[in-house]
Structure 1
Amino acid sequence: MSVMVFALLACWLILHIRKQLTTGTAFSQSLPMLGLLLTAPLWAELQLTLDLSIDPANTLQSSLLGFALTGLFSLTLLMVRSKQRIRLLCYALVGSGLFQALYGSMMTLTGIEYLFFVPKESYFGTATGTFVNRNHLAGYLVLTLSVGIGLMISTLDGESASNWRDFFRRILTTLLGNKARLRIILVIMVAGLVMTHSRMGNTAFFASLAIAGVLALLLSKRSTKATIILIGSLIIIDIFVVGTFFGVEKVVQRLENSSEASETRDEVNTYTLGAIQDNLLTGSGAGTYYTNFPAYRQYDAGRGFYDHAHNDYFEFASDYGVVVTSCLMLAVLWAFISAIRAQIKRKTALMRGIAFSATMAIIALAMHSTVDFNLQIPANAATFVVILALGQISLYQKSRRR
């Protein structure tokens, strides 16, 4: 992954030197955010240089991944500079989510439970796609669903219906026309999400959809009845129709059975706080959680090994220290504010749509990260930085005729 990203960056630099490509407004306006994202891999290099890391090999690998993710963020800003490319990127993400949903669902429904050409070792009876952990498939589907819903919103007609006949005609056109294909894809992806039986994955999806929907209606002066109906149908149809056939009651049952007695994540978080306090500013080294945590855990954390904390905020703070972690959180907040501003200022439906996508994705992952480690999974982290870049593009990309 890193080699591919660095090779693409090298190609862009060559073309830029030859005056064939320019940086563009979105990239230049996002330089402060890029600097905040670079603090993590640069600090990992300093941890190696100053001998602050307790596991140099993993710190070096995390540094490499950090530079690759920052490069991917930059490439998205530099290359996605037209409506056609924005749509192509969004449909590529939605297509990837559709594949994961179909693959995970079929493996579960047929009983032939494989990952990517490898038999499953855990999470039988639940969809995991090509991921090892069902929660990471859920996180990935929520990110790609956010993009798909934003695309759907961008296709809505901004004009109000003149009468009820016109109103119902437009609804039928939406249900039976080209938009129906995208709506069916979203239904399939939601079915895959429900079949993961991920508690926070499903909770984060519906909560972020509702919150982002309310924000869109409050912020955008161009919100219409169609937007309200779309968001309402996503919540109602997906919960009561899709959920009935694909096991939403199992998700509810898992939520009801959750308790401090049945979970060890709260104990893990408590002991991780001890690790954070001992290396508050410097961290123990990027990617060293697996090595560092055994020195702090107690018997009540269970018998299993923890290669990651089930809390992205705590793991970043333990590995990098609170200063770098704050810089990363500030970068995400920056993109969130950009997406909010885009929904207020932009007149283009596509820009408002991808701004909605970024808003929803950031809210969802902010919630999911409190109980899981999606940002430690390269596929999910890469998808997230691309969506952060889309949030910047939604505000700063200028409309061009060609």
Structure 2
Amino acid sequence: MKSRSLTQQAERGLLGLFILSLVWLPLPLGSNRQWPMALYVAVVWVLLALTGLLRLFGSERLPDRTAPVRTGSGWGAHLALSLLVLFTAWCAFQLSPWGYTEAPHDTRLMVLRSLGYVGMFWLVLLLVTSDRRRTALLSGMMIAGVVQAMIAIVLYSSDGRYTLMDEAFVQGLRATGTFAGPDALANYLLFALSAGVAVMLSQMGMQPAQARRRRHRLHGALEFMMSTKMIVRLMLIIMVIALVLTRSRLGNGAFFVALMLVTLWIVGRSPQLRRPAAILAASLLVIDLIVIGQWIGLSKVIERMHATELALKAEQEEAASAAASGASPPTAQRAPDMPQYREETLHERTRPLRDAMAMIEERPWTGFGAGAFYSAFTRYKVESTKFFYDHAHSDYVEIVTDTGLIGLSLLGALILLSAGRTVQLMKDRQGPHVRGVAAGCGMGIVCALLHATLDLNLQINANAAMLTVLLAVVWSAPGRHVPEPSQQPR
């Protein structure tokens, strides 16, 4: 028993280190540079190696009846991990004499990134073996999102200018946090919010039936105000504030669409989780959208959504006319030394997508090499523009141009398989913890699918890592009723 206790303590320590690495991951520009990405991959595989040694030498001496509960084992989890391994192998195959890539260096980096995601997925399946550990991991992801949100809010309020890792920042226009762009921060917050929703729903689902009785409502309300649920709720509010301050049209839209879809899904699938899910969704809409949204300027996000080419042309013509007549052109509501922000229209956002269609037609199955979009795109760019496109502004299109339909099929199968797992877990015969985890991770999957249509956020290492962890958490949850928490390893 002492050996078992030491093994469990060591595993909890490794899980804690993994959570700390998730908090650190977005700090150096979303780890979207070579050295932080390589450092993180090394950390993940060191933790995975230590976990393997613990399992090899620590649990061998334990009798079967005291072995840890491996809730993530099963053919589904192995298949999901195998799909990720196959995608990594396909990227590596493009570097071989039988493969093809136009940017070998970028393809090597993509292989290294993919190895990191494989290690993260595997590590979650090995370490997250109980409800307590699963809650700790999701809470760590939520805390990482709150840290980013607070950094973003403080920097946005500073209206400052600075340079970080050769990247110039002008704060006060749109919140960026420690990411290179506001849309990348918005996508990161979507995954952190999904983890927070999972924690919140799993806690709300644990309320006893007596608390719903009329005579216990006041006591239940006071208990809620003093519980960890209120702390989680405040964390969600902070992240929603930062999400609105990014002014990301697709990010904010994806959040509320995913929230509504998941709520409707819960209402139809889980009568026991129906009430807490409806309360959470209503509070997010009423408090965050109406009250806080109006306070911090949600109307500016809506204005961006309604921006059109015609309105921008009229603004440009007005400025040109004012300059010709000698009058001062209209300025934004910012200090004079702040650069004027030029809104990117839908036509400009989708321009690289339209040009990339020729790339897909030429090499539809194998692509031009993982990470090689920029190197190959220069030959296919039809319309000259002052905007710099190093990505396709659509994860779907860029995955196809880089790895072909083969790579998209492997990743798509992983997403669809994990989505099916969330549907399987959303049953009332499951415990409240499992149902809450399924709802939150399902929301994260929907957000990823929506935001990937017209953005490049999965090309950012920190964002892709958060999605990988959410997918792994889905497979770490037990597929059927498990013993009480007191009988599970901590």
SS of residue in 2 equivalent to 1:222: helix
Residues 115/202 of structure 1: CA separation in 2 closer, same or farther (3 Å cut)? farther
SS of residue in 1 equivalent to 2:378: helix
Match of 2:367 in 1: 283
Deviations 1:295-330 (CA, angstroms, capped at 9, x unpaired): 111125x22331111100000000001022111011
Letter in 2 for 1:27: S
Q: 2 CA distance for matches of 1:167 and 1:103?
A: 37
Q: 2 CA distance for matches of 1:60 and 1:370?
A: 26
Written as runs of structure 1 = structure 2, the 5 A alignment for 1:3-402 is: 3-18=42-57, 20=59, 24-29=70-75, 30-49=77-96, 50-113=98-161, 120-122=168-170, 124-156=172-204, 157=207, 159=209, 163-258=213-308, 262-263=345-346, 264-299=348-383, 302-344=385-427, 346-396=429-479, 398-399=482-483, 401-402=487-488
Q: C-alpha displacement at 1:12, in angstroms?
A: 2.4
Deviations 1:228-285 (CA, angstroms, capped at 9, x unpaired): 2221111121100110111101100000104598331222111111111111111100
Letter in 1 for 2:412: M
Letter in 2 for 1:247: G
Match of 2:318 in 1: none
Q: 2 CA distance for matches of 1:255 and 1:162?
A: 41
Residues 63/71 of structure 1: CA separation in 2 closer, same or farther (3 Å cut)? same
Q: 2 CA distance for matches of 1:154 and 1:147?
A: 11
Gaps of 5+ in 2: 1-39, 61-67, 313-344
CA RMSD of aligned residues (A): 2.2
Taking structure 1 as the reference length, what is the TM-score of the superposition?
Answer: 0.93
Residues 161/303 of structure 1: CA separation in 2 closer, same or farther (3 Å cut)? same
Gaps of 5+ in 1: none
Q: C-alpha displacement at 1:395, in angstroms?
A: 4.2
Residues 196/392 of structure 1: CA separation in 2 closer, same or farther (3 Å cut)? same
Q: C-alpha displacement at 1:129, in angstroms?
A: 0.8
Residues 117/312 of structure 1: CA separation in 2 closer, same or farther (3 Å cut)? closer
Q: C-alpha displacement at 1:165, in angstroms?
A: 4.3
Identical residues among aligned pairs (%)? 30
- Tell me whether 75-84 or 150-159 shows the greater mean CA deviation: 150-159
SS of residue in 1 equivalent to 2:45: helix
Contact 1:158 1:224 in 2 (8 A): no
Deviations 1:138-187 (CA, angstroms, capped at 9, x unpaired): 00111101111111111112527554443454344324433211111111
Larger radius of gyration: 2
Match of 2:13 in 1: none
Q: 1 CA distance for matches of 2:467 and 2:260?
A: 20
Letter in 1 for 2:359: A
Q: C-alpha displacement at 1:44, in angstroms?
A: 1.3
Deviations 1:167-218 (CA, angstroms, capped at 9, x unpaired): 4543443244332111111111100110000000000011101101111111
Q: C-alpha displacement at 1:114, in angstroms?
A: 5.2
Q: 2 CA distance for matches of 1:257 and 1:115?
A: 30
- Tell me whether 159-168 or 32-41 shows the greater mean CA deviation: 159-168
Contact 2:350 2:454 in 1 (8 A): no
- Tell me whether 303-312 or 54-63 shows the greater mean CA deviation: 303-312
Residues 111/207 of structure 1: CA separation in 2 closer, same or farther (3 Å cut)? same
Q: C-alpha displacement at 1:24, in angstroms?
A: 2.6
Q: 2 CA distance for matches of 1:17 and 1:161?
A: 46
Q: 2 CA distance for matches of 1:6 and 1:55?
A: 26
Q: 1 CA distance for matches of 2:163 and 2:81?
A: 34
Contact 1:54 1:284 in 2 (8 A): yes
**How many matched pairs?**
401
Contact 1:107 1:114 in 2 (8 A): no
Residues 87/179 of structure 1: CA separation in 2 closer, same or farther (3 Å cut)? same
SS of residue in 2 equivalent to 1:27: coil
Deviations 1:4-59 (CA, angstroms, capped at 9, x unpaired): 11212222232333253779341333111111112221111111002401111110
Letter in 2 for 1:66: S
Deviations 1:339-362 (CA, angstroms, capped at 9, x unpaired): 111111553221111111110000
Letter in 1 for 2:197: I
Q: 1 CA distance for matches of 2:196 and 2:290?
A: 20
Q: 1 CA distance for matches of 2:368 and 2:297?
A: 42
Contact 1:136 1:374 in 2 (8 A): yes
Q: 1 CA distance for matches of 2:163 and 2:138?
A: 25
Q: 2 CA distance for matches of 1:133 and 1:245?
A: 23
